[in-house]
Amino acid sequence: MRRIIYTLLVTVGMLFGQMGSLFAQCAMCRATIENNVSNGDTTVGAGLNMGILYLLIAPYLLISIIAFFWFRNARSKKKKLSY
């Protein structure tokens, strides 16, 4: 139980430690989009939104796939031991 609590605290600490650098990128993206929209090009904004969604979904998808195979492997080992 302690290991789970320590892991959770370290993860939360690392997340909050990186918050400053995460917010720093917003100004650059906003300036790029505003510049392109003022010139009449709206495709950059749509591409940027798709990129953000890709970066949001990719880690969760990867972790879900690993967890699925890990769970399936653990369940098959448990069945073998119960016989």
For residues 75 and 63, the answer to whether their CB atoms sit within 8 Å is: no
pLDDT tens string 9-68: 887 777 676 655 555 566 777 787 788 888 887 777 777 778 888 888 888 999 999 999
pLDDT tens string 64-81: 999 999 999 988 888 777
Q: Report the C-alpha gap between 60 and 62 in whole angstroms.
A: 5
Q: Any idea where the domains of the chain sit in the sequence?
A: 1-41, 43-83
For residues 42 and 36, the answer to whether their CB atoms sit within 8 Å is: yes
Can you give the pTM of this predicted structure? 0.49
